[in-house]
Amino acid sequence: MSNSLVKSHLELAIKSNSHFAQAHYELAKIFLEENNVKAAIKSLKNAVDSGLEKSFKSEEKGDFLMKQRQFPQAKRYMFKMGLSKYNTSIYLGELAQIYFDSEDMVTAKKYALSSLKEYANQPISMNILGSIHASNKKWKLAVDSFAQSLELNFNNATTHLSLAHVKQMQKKSKEAVHHYLIAKDLDGKISDEKLEKLSQKYPDA
């Protein structure tokens, strides 16, 4: 199915339900594929607003049912709230990535922190925070963020590569090589000239 046809279906879905967060998000992904960053940001912000509203309504309904001692029904709404918060954290993380790629570190950090506020174990946003710290040469903070991200998603080759670069800047060569080799194992397309030379010194890293 072509992007134009998918967009048409998504726009119809949004027209019938303007608070359809996932539809806004899917539309944003298409805009990103088309390099229409402005439209992607708008759609992601709509997704965030819809997600936050859904979380609020689910929590409100859950609290009401708890007070009525209708615990099974309340539990369902609390689950809906948690799922909505998780999805919203992804939308916020995508916004943070866009602003990071645009080198707007202040806005990127704002959205990354907002993402983690919605869902504390969001590896995407932890990774972005690590990249922001690295860009500011705050190596220890960068290492902490990348390490937390990898605890949640160890198989992210990009995060291992980013951590390898930071370890290299800290003069921790063996650790740098360790993460570089993992990154290469996870993604055969990864190659870095300096880290490649360094890895020859530590074949058992």
Give me the pLDDT at residue 183, please: 96
Residue 130 and residue 142 in contact, taking contact as beta carbons nearer than 8 Å? yes
Q: What is the DSSP string of 127-141?
A: HHHHHHHHHTT-HHH
DSSP string covering 115-177: HHHH-TT-HHHHHHHHHHHHHTT-HHHHHHHHHHHHHH-TT-HHHHHHHHHHHHHTT-HHHHH
Q: Residue 112 carries which DSSP code? A: H
For residues 97 and 143, give the distance between their C-alpha atoms in angstroms, rounded to a whole number: 18
Q: What is the pLDDT of residue 171?
A: 94
pTM score of the predicted model? 0.87
Torsion of CA 139, 140, 146, 152, to 10 degrees: 180
CB atoms within 10 A of CB 6: 14
Looking at residue 8, its pLDDT comes to 84
Residue 71 to residues 52, 55, 79, Cα–Cα distance (Å): 23, 18, 12
Domains 1-120 and 139-205 share a fold: yes
**Burial (Cβ within 10 Å: 0-12, 13-18, ≥19) of residue 33:** exposed
- pLDDT one-digit tens code per residue, 95-112: 999 999 999 999 999 999
Among 2.40.40.20, 3.40.50.1970, 1.25.40.10, 3.40.50.2000, what is the CATH number of 1-120?
1.25.40.10
Closest CA to 47 of 96, 83, 88: 88
State pLDDT tens for residues 153-191.
999 999 999 999 999 999 999 999 999 999 999 999 999
Domain 139-205, architecture per CATH: Alpha Horseshoe (1.25)
Residue 72 has pLDDT above 90, yes or no: no
Number of Cβ atoms within 10 Å of the Cβ of 75? 13
Domain ranges, ordered by start, for the chain: 1-120, 139-205
- pLDDT exceeds 90 at position 199: no
Tokens linked to 102: 């645009």
